[in-house]
Structure formats: C-alpha cells, structure tokens
Amino acid sequence: MDSCPCIKNFLLLDSEGNRVAVKYYSDEWPTNSAKEAFEKALFSKTQKTNARTEAEIAMFENHIIVYKFVQDLHFFVVGAEGENELILVTVLQGFFDAVGLLLRGNVDKKEALENLDLILLCLDEIVDGGVILETDANAIAGKVASHSVDATAPLSEQTISQALATAREHLARSLLNCMYVPVPWLADDDAMGSSG
Amino acid sequence: MAQPLVKKDDDRDEEVEYSPFFGIEKGAVLQEARVFNDPQLDPQRCSQVITKLLYLLNQGEVFTKVEATEVFFSVTKLFQSKDLGLRRMVYVMIKELSPSADEVIMVTSSLMKDMTSKTDMYRANAIRVLCRITDGTLLTQIERYLKQAIVDKNPVVSSAALVSGIHLLQTNPEIVKRWSNEVQEAVQSRAALVQFHALALLHQIRQNDRLAVNKLVSSLTRGSVRSPLAQCLLIRYTSQVIRESANNTQTGDRPFYDFLEGCLRHKAEMVIFEAARAITELNGVTSRELTPAITVLQLFLSSSKPVLRFAAVRTLNKVAMTHPTAVTNCNIDMESLISDQNRSIATLAITTLLKTGNESSVDRLMKQITNFMSDIADEFKIVVVEAIRSLCLKFPLKHRSLMNFLSNILREEGGFEYKKAIVDSIVILIRDIPEAKETGLLHLCEFIEDCEFTYLSTQILHFLGIEGPKTSDPSKYIRYIYNRVHLENATVRAGAVSTLAKFGAMVDGLKPRIFVLLRRCLFDTDDEVRDRATLYLNTLGGDGAVVETGADVKEFLFGSLDIPLVNLENSLKNYEPSEKPFDINFVPKEVKTQPLAEKKAPGKKPTGLGAPPPGPPSTVDAYEKLLSSIPEFANFGKLFKSSAPVELTEAETEYAVNVVKHIFDSHVVFQYNCTNTIPEQLLENVTVLVDASEAEEFAEVASKPLRSLPYDSPGQTFVAFEKPEGVPAVGKFSNMLRFIVKEVDPSTGEAEDDGVEDEYQLEDLEVVAADYILKVGVSNFRNAWESMGADFERVDEYGLGPRDSLAEAVNAVIDLLGMQPCEGTEVVSPNSRSHTCLLSGVYIGNVKVLVRLQFGLDGPKDVAMKLAVRSEDETVSDAIHEIVASG
C-alpha cells in the first residue's frame, strides 16, 4: 500500500467543459479520448453546483473530486477514493490562489490562455508525478513568477491580499484604458508581426 | 500566422471568443519552432512557441515520432540561452516530450551542468527533469549529486531530489536505498515540505522492515513534525504500526493511541481529520477510544465548508456500519444535512441515519427521503435502497411503510442495477419478515406487469412459484403470471409456464384451471415454452383427473438442483448417445474451490436472487476416467470424492511425490503422482510401501506399481485399501517409495541393463474426516435448512480458545469440516465481534448435511462457537460434532 497522498490529475476547464489546461499523473486514462470522456462526464456532473464561494466535493467513478469555479473557469483536483479530502482541497486551494496571484486577480479564461505558460509552470510547481510538491500559493506563484520577465515586485514577497489589491488597481487602470498589462510574449509577437 | 493577437482593448471587446490560440494549427507551430535553431536566440519568442507547442499537447494533439524528435532536438539548442524564463519552459517541454533513451543522451550533459549550477532554480528543475527521463545506467553517474541535493540548503532543491527519489524507488530501488542516511538527515529539516518528502521516501525505503518503521514512528511521534502533510503521513504510518502489532499484544492498550488522540487537537484541519479517520478505522476500536474522534467529526458536520462536511459524514457513515450507537449523538446534525446542496453529502447523511436511526424516527426519515430520491443519481439510490433494506430487517414492525416506499420507487424510472437492488431488497424482506410476504408479492406482481428487464421478470416469476402457493389466496397471483404468457418474450413465457405448474402442483383447488392455461401454452410459437407446458401437463397428470401431486413430482419441481451446473454441462458434453440413458446421479457433485482471483470482493455478499457463482470445470471427471480404467479398482463403485493433491516431499528433492486421496464407499485409493528430477536416472517398478499400522480400520487390498519412471515425465502408482462401508474411518499412513534405479547415459539417453533396488522415505499421509464430506453448495441456505427440518438437529457449544482473529477461527473450522461455505458467509467483516457462517455438504453415503456456525468473541481473544447441524441422518449429525470435538 502506497500511503503517500497522491493527486491523479488537475483539470482547468472553461464554462463549456473545454480544456484550458489539464495535467494527468495517473495512467487510469490511457488515451486522449478516455481523458476527454472523463472531463466531459465530470463537467456535466458538477456544472450545476455552486462552487464559487467554497470549494465543492463529489464522488465520481471511484474518485474524489474537489473543485472550485471562478468566472468562466472551473478548477478540479482528482484523487483516489480513500484519500484525505482535506489534503486534496489544500492542493486545489494552492492551485487556485496561485493562479489568482499570477493573473493578478483577473482570473478568467481569456487571461488564463494569454498566460498559459504561467498556468503550466504553476502546475509543474504544485505536483510532480502525482506527489505534492508545494501547497502554499505564495510559494508556488513566487517560484513561477521569479523567472517571468515581469517588472513588478516579486510575488513571493506579497501576501494574497496585497496581491489582490495590486490586481484590483491593475484592473481599474486597464478599464480606464490608461495602461495595458503587458503580456510579454504576446507583445513581442505583435512587434515581430505575424511572420509564422 | 493569421492569429488575432491584437492588443487594443476595443478590438478585444468585439471578439467574444477571443483566444490567443484561435486558429492554431500543428503544422504551422512546428514551422515556427525553427526559431529555436536561430543563431541569435530570441528568448521571449522561443518561450512563446514552446507555450504553443505545450498548448497543442495539452489539447490532446499527438506529435508523430519524427515530429517529436525534431522538436526535441531543436529544444535542446535552447540550453544556450541564459534566460531563466525560457529555461523553465524548456524543462517543462522536455518532460512533456518524454524522449527516448538515445535522445536523452543529447540533453544529459546540459542537465548535469544545470544540476551543479549555482542557481537554485536550475538545480531543482534539472534534477526533476533528469530523474524523470533517465534510466538506471545514468542514475549511477548522477547519484553523487542527488545525494548532495537531498541535504541541500535550499528546500526547493532538497524537495526536488527527494520527490525524484520517490519516483525512482519504483524503478531502481537498490540505488535509492543507498541514500537513506541523507534522507534521514532531511527528515530533520526545518523546511516543512522537505520534511514531508523525506518522511515519505524514508518510509517507502523501509516499508518492508517492520522494526525500522516502528522505530521511525516512535521517534517521530515524540519529536516535532512541522508540516501538516508530514503529520498526516505520520498518522498513516502510526496506524499501520498499530495494525501490524495488534496481533501480538494481548492487552487492550494501544501503543500509539495517545499520539493519534493528540493529533485531534492539531491546528490544521487536515491533520485533525486524518487522525479522526485513523482512530475510527482501528481494528476492534472501543467506544471510549472512538468518542473523541466522533466529537471532532461532529463539529465538522456543521462547518460552512462542503469538503469538511463531506469528509466527516463519509467517515461517520463507515463508523455507523460497525458502531451505530457511537454515531447516534450526531443524528441531529446529520438530519440537517439531508437538505444539503451537495447531493453526495445528503446521500451519505441519509444512509448514516438509516443505519443509526431508531424505530420512532423511521416514518419521519422516509418522508424526507421520498422528496430527495427523485433528484439523485442511480448509484446513490442503490445505496439508499440497501440502507432501507437493512433498516427494515432491524425494525420488522415498520415493514409496511418501508415496503411501500420500495414499491413506489420501483415504479419510477431507473436503470437495471437500481431496479435489481430494489427487487432484491423486497425479496429479502419477504423471506425474512412473514407479515410482509403478501404485500411484497403483490408489489412484485405489479412490477412484472410493466418490467423491461427479462432477467428480473424471470427471477420474480421463479420466486412467485415458490412463495405464491403458500399464501392464503394463491389464485390472485395467477392472472399476473398468465398475462406474462401473452405479453412477453419467450424466456419470460417459459418462466411463467414453470411458475403456473408450481401453483398447480401445490394447490389442488387450482389444478383444473391451471391445466386449462397450460394446455393453451401448447400452441406457443417457442419450442421451450411448448416443451415445458407438455412436460408439466404430463408430470402433473393433466389428463383431467385431479390427483394429489406425488412427492417425486414435488421434488422435481421444487427441489434444489444440488449439482453444480458446470459439472452437469461437462457430463452432458461427454455423454454419447446410446441405449443407456443419461443418469444425472452420475454427475459429480463436488464444487471445486475457486482460484483466489475469482473470489468476490470481501463483504460483497451475493444477495437475494443472485445465483451461486459457477465453479470452474472440475477435474473429477478426469480422475473418474483414470480410476475406472484400472481393472483392480473397477468394482469399487462410484467415486465419492477426490482430495486436492497433498505434497509428500519437500520442493526440489530428487523425487517429487504428491498424493491424491480417492474415497469410495468402502474403499480408499491413494494415487501417488511421482516425478523423477534426476536426468541420469531411470526408475523402474516404482511402488509405495504403505504402513497402515496407525490406521486400524484400513486393510490394503491392491497395489498398482509404475513400470517405469523416466526423467521429468510424471507417472502414477496406486495403492488401494478396504475400509468399513460408509464409515468415515480416519488414520495415519507412513509411506516409503521403493524402486529399481538404473543409470542413464545423458548423451545417448540409454539406460544400463542392471539396476539397484533403492528406497526413499516420504512424508506421512492422513485420511481425515473432511475427506468424507463433499463440498456441495445450496443456493438458498434458509430454505434448505427449513426443509431439512429439526428432526436430526444436533446443537452444542465449543470453546476454541485464544485465536488471532475471528476470521482465523472461522477458516479453521471450515477447513476442518471441508464443507462448502454458503452465501458468502466465509467472509468475516473486520472489527465484528460475532459471525455466523453457513456450510453445506454431502456426507459419505450421500447424506446432505447443513451446518450453522455461530462464532463470538469471549473476552479479548477467546473464541466460542455454537454448532448446529441438520442432516437426513442423526448418526451423521453426531459425526459432524465428533469431528469438531476431536479437531
């Protein structure tokens, strides 16, 4: 019996159940179609629930699923049937908050896709091959952001509330069309023109 | 690339389905990846292309082998760039591509350089990447660095090495095991997650060394563990130690219980819950030990967080199965969860309440459940149905409202498994609660009027045939049954015909009318239906006269088929059409024990209508053929039973011998299967000298030597004994293998002419009482038990003394008697303090025997047993008791 807590997969889906980013650590879903079928079934099962204020939980096909929604993004963490539910939700919360920090509070599908590199690095920092690496959102975001070429202060030194405050500020400013938050590689692509 | 990568805000507002990856296409991105080969690398552009590649992979796009290799090679070029962000993406990309062995070599040196870099981020990530893609040979080269990394100052580096160790332990255990000193040091780390990873790895390294795990746990439970995750691990390891030491300690004390209880006051909820769950899962947990755990779980029930409520109610639900009274305190909190938004929580709350509820609360509960049933999934409904069934068995007076509930939900929409669960429950209630019989049967009748599942219809018809005629007014069922003959498919029609015949056989008053109905069935379009109708009309005397149904007809209609269907099938296949009719009495009755893999999951008892599992093809036929071909044994009559082979030699000796005991009515034949394992020898004239001085009732009558036993081709020699007829004589036999050994020239394979006589001592062999009992299952023990009657019942109580566990005691008695456990009762649920086991078999002389064993724990370890035997012969009942008394 392997008694180490184990994460089977992360799913980040949009409001129609399409993938934004997913990461599977278990080989229970060997093919892409098996994965998609799982995601679809899981999505339709949880779609109607309200997981916006608190993380929700469900039993599904012998897995424990914890999930949380924000805007048009659905975050899922899947673990084994016998897993400690609170460990799973800690991982989910770490993922959720780290994404919030990295996207500076603008957590929605568009923003997530524009910063997909950050999301993928974030997943890479939370779990390695199913083993939990880190659950603290500040630490995760710090590790991801420390090498993104962003001008603002390192995220690891901010608390969540500070970061959210910054995010709000950013949002307000971008709404006023004063400043657009530069997304490094997108900006670059624009500069280079569409050469592809 | 015509991507709408437009930056202006007003443009984005117009584009509703805006996505930076809109219109992305694999071929184009692969083209773009050529920028990796540019002499002047643009890190940001490269990062962006990698993101696109990762996006494609993430969406399920597959790269061909060639494409993957090409991408991989160009990605390796990016190690030239010093850009941190780009390097980070390169690491992720390499892991996603999972390169082949010869590709790995290309990046090894770059990664090894990063592994020894001064930048922590490089070291941590390079370790993770390298360990992910490496194989064993490379691992020995980098082992030194990994050991260093484990004790690195930087916690991220240390964790990376430890987690990689956890993965590598699966593939290269012998290497990782050499790191235990470093890992041990890391367990003491001040960094929370390093401690967690180190503890996980250390435990996995030592998991097979019970003493070491014990030491690890006892040192850490006294020390301070910083991270909640590590604390959870420690709780798991502690309960593992408790579980393993449980068998050794005689006292009620638990070594680490105080530690677990202390964890209930931890500040992290995750730890509190882990400890509470661990306590509830302890073997033989007492209510005093349970109380503090239940109390914290109860607090969780009213938490605002769904996850906490779910975790608590799920655990309490499990506790309710073994310790319902311990959970009753939580009932009020539990009831408020019935209306929980989260249906999983609501279902768990309801089933827990059903397990712990008292008689007065049943009606109120049922009302709440009725509203709730319509909006949950089938899987939850089945859980509820099963809980209601056990509740009804607990409070039989409430059968009316519970049965009504079941019949109501039976009429609603639902899948097969759900419907089957309901029907099974109703059947069980009818069997166990006599007052519920008539209403229950009518509910079932109504159900088959509109049932889409052939399986359920036939099962219910069969059940009606057995129970219906015994009710006060059997005629009211006939209409429902005969309707099936008109409206259903052939399988159901055939089942209905049989059921009609059963009513006809049992209720004389209905006979004339049944005959009319059966005669109508003679014109059915289906062969089977017509055949059955004809058969029943003839056996019941359908020529008009109403005669009392003969006993043999009743036996034919109602008696259980005590022959495993597989055996019958085999015998029928082997039967060659001839003058001699097929005789069902010659079909072997022995149920062969199933291989372990086929056994049902423990605790999953076959319920209700479920047929007994079919056994695999038996070897009985083969033995019977073999023995009847030997003239000396031909007149011994019908083979009663053949035992499983018993080894008479140690493994890997010169000669391997095992024996099969064949029991006949007044004879016993030992079949010695011999194998010669020496290539240089040929054995001739092989016999076994049997000394039966410790088996007084046996007398040797015949022996069949084996003429020649060459190397590695097994052969048999037989010895036959006579014993008193029908008596289960027991005894001990000592065996000596005697033979003439001849040298063989290995090159030519020819044996020398002269041989030497030699002997070889074999182990002793016993004929025991279990050899005289056939494992023959019955499909419905309760019916069989009742129809056997109490005429020759013998009941007595026995003390079995201290035993490791209840399960061990149950298995010992089953083995001693050699009988077939029925209805899954050989499985003892953990933590239970009493158990009832049902056995059935056939005793020599073809006497059916049924045994009911009731086990109970008397004191901490002592097991007491009540043995009730019913059989068709009182001497046999006594004999069973004698076996137990002397066993």
Residue at A106 is within a domain: yes
List helix spans (H) across B281-398: 287-301, 306-322, 324-327, 331-336, 343-356, 362-373, 378-394
Q: What is the pLDDT of residue A101?
A: 92
With an 8 Å Cβ cutoff, is B303 touching chain A?
no
Same domain, A80 and A110: yes
Same domain, A116 and A137: yes
Same domain, A176 and A130: no
- Which residues face B838 on adjacent strands? B852
Residue at A88 is within a domain: yes
Question: Which residue's entry shows tokens 């049997």?
Answer: B690
Residue at A30 is within a domain: yes
Residue range A59-82: mean pLDDT, rounded: 91
* Residue B13: exposure state from Cβ atoms within 10 A (0-12, 13-18, ≥19): exposed
- Total Cβ atoms within 10 A of residue B553: 16
Q: Regarding beta strands B715-722 and B731-743, do their DSSP bridges make them parallel or antiparallel, or are they unpaired?
A: unpaired
Q: Report CA-CA distances (Å) from B534 to B366, B522, B538, B749.
A: 48, 7, 6, 67
Q: What is the pLDDT of residue A163?
A: 59
Min distance B299 CA to chain A CA atoms (Å) = 15
Using CB atoms, pick whichever of A19, A54, A147 lies closest to residue B306: A54
Q: Are B528 and B539 in contact (CB under 8 A)?
A: no
Q: Number of structural domains, chain A?
A: 2
Strand, coil or helix: B379: helix
Q: What is the pLDDT of residue A179?
A: 43
CA–CA gap between residue B423 and residue B47 (Å, rounded) = 61
- Which residues face B802 on adjacent strands? B862
Min distance B596 CA to chain A CA atoms (Å) = 20
What letter would DSSP give residue B872? S
Are residues A177 and B9, on separate chains, in Cβ contact within 8 Å? yes
Residue at A18 is within a domain: yes
Strand, coil or helix: B64: coil
Residue B612 structure tokens:
């007994």
Same domain, A135 and A88: yes
Q: What would the 3-class secondary structure string for B72-114 be?
A: HHHHHHHHHCCCHHHHHHHHHHHHHHCCCHHHHHHHHHHHHHH
Same domain, A160 and A112: no
Q: What is the pLDDT of residues B132-146, one digit of tens each?
A: 888 777 888 888 889
Using CB atoms, pick whichever of B19, B60, B310 lies closest to residue A113: B19
Q: Where are the beta strands (DSSP E) in B401-532?
A: none
Are residues B200 and A4, on separate chains, in Cβ contact within 8 Å? yes
Report the first-to-last Cα separation within chain B, whole angstroms.
Answer: 85
Using CB atoms, pick whichever of A5, A85, A184 lies closest to residue B311: A85
Q: What is the pLDDT of residues B291-315, one digit of tens each?
A: 999 999 999 999 999 999 999 999 9
Same domain, A164 and A107: no
Are residues A128 and B160, on separate chains, in Cβ contact within 8 Å? yes
> Where residue A168 falls among pLDDT bands split at 50, 70, 90?
low
With an 8 Å Cβ cutoff, is B601 touching chain A?
no
Q: What is the pLDDT of residue B518?
A: 87
Q: How many helices (H) and strands (E) does chain A have?
A: 7, 7
- Which residues face B775 on adjacent strands? B841
Are residues B7 and A180, on separate chains, in Cβ contact within 8 Å? yes
Residue A91 reports pLDDT greater than 90: yes
Q: What is the pLDDT of residue A155?
A: 46
With an 8 Å Cβ cutoff, is A133 touching chain B?
yes
Contact list in B for residue A172 (CB cut-off 8 A) is none
Residue A193 structure tokens:
């023109």
With an 8 Å Cβ cutoff, is B310 touching chain A?
yes
Same domain, A167 and A77: no
- ipTM surpassing 0.90: no
- Give me the domain span that covers residue A98: 9-147
Closest CA to B99 of B136, B60, B73: B73
CA–CA gap between residue B830 and residue B602 (Å, rounded) = 10
A–B CB contacts, 8 A cutoff, strictly below: 174
Q: What is the pLDDT of residue A70?
A: 92
Residue at A155 is within a domain: yes
Same domain, A62 and A153: no
> Where residue A193 falls among pLDDT bands split at 50, 70, 90?
very low
Phi, psi of A192 (to 5 degrees): -80, -15
Same domain, A47 and A26: yes
Q: What is the pLDDT of residue B611?
A: 40
Same domain, A134 and A55: yes
Min distance B285 CA to chain A CA atoms (Å) = 20
With an 8 Å Cβ cutoff, is B273 touching chain A?
yes
Using CB atoms, pick whichever of A54, A56, A188 lies closest to residue B304: A54
Element (H, E) at B802: strand B794-802
Are residues A113 and B54, on separate chains, in Cβ contact within 8 Å? no
Task: Please identify among residues 237-256 of chain B the ones whose CB lies closer than 8 Å to any CB of chain A.
Answer: 237, 240
Q: Which residue out of B82, B270, B297, B318 would a mutagenesis test of the A interface target, given it has the greatest number of A Cβ atoms within 10 Å? A: B270
List helix spans (H) across B559-602: 565-574
Q: What is the pLDDT of residue A171?
A: 56
Same domain, A79 and A167: no
Strand, coil or helix: B858: strand
CA–CA gap between residue B199 and residue B163 (Å, rounded) = 11
Residue A88 reports pLDDT greater than 80: yes
The pTM (predicted TM-score) of the whole model is 0.64
With an 8 Å Cβ cutoff, is A84 touching chain B?
yes
Are residues B48 and A185, on separate chains, in Cβ contact within 8 Å? yes
Closest CA to B684 of B737, B761, B742, B760: B742
Mean pLDDT by 10 residues, chain B (887 residues): 44 56 86 87 89 91 88 89 88 86 82 87 90 83 90 92 92 88 89 91 87 85 83 90 67 72 91 94 84 93 93 92 85 86 86 81 79 75 84 83 86 86 89 86 89 90 88 88 86 90 84 86 88 86 60 68 76 79 73 43 40 45 76 79 83 82 86 84 86 83 85 85 80 87 78 83 84 80 79 84 81 84 78 82 83 81 85 82 78
Residue A196 reports pLDDT greater than 50: no
Are residues B307 and A57, on separate chains, in Cβ contact within 8 Å? yes
Are residues B45 and A192, on separate chains, in Cβ contact within 8 Å? yes
With an 8 Å Cβ cutoff, is B85 touching chain A?
yes
Residue at A190 is within a domain: no
List helix spans (H) across B748-831: 781-788, 806-817
Using CB atoms, pick whichever of A21, A59, A196 lies closest to residue B28: A196
Same domain, A93 and A123: yes
Residue A180 reports pLDDT greater than 50: no
Closest CA to B376 of A88, A59, A69: A59
Return all residues near B17 (Cβ < 8 A) that are at least 6 apart.
none
Q: What is the pLDDT of residue A67?
A: 95
Angle, vertex CA A52, rays to CA A46 and CA A58, nearest 5: 35
Phi, psi of A147 (to 5 degrees): -120, 15
Residue at A192 is within a domain: no
Q: What is the pLDDT of residue A164?
A: 61
- Which residues face A11 on adjacent strands? A22, A76
Contact list in A for residue B85 (CB cut-off 8 A) is 147-149
CATH number of the domain bearing residue A49 = 3.30.450.60
Report the first-to-last Cα separation within chain A, whole angstroms.
Answer: 51
Contact list in A for residue B203 (CB cut-off 8 A) is 3
Residue at A196 is within a domain: no
CA–CA gap between residue B316 and residue B325 (Å, rounded) = 11
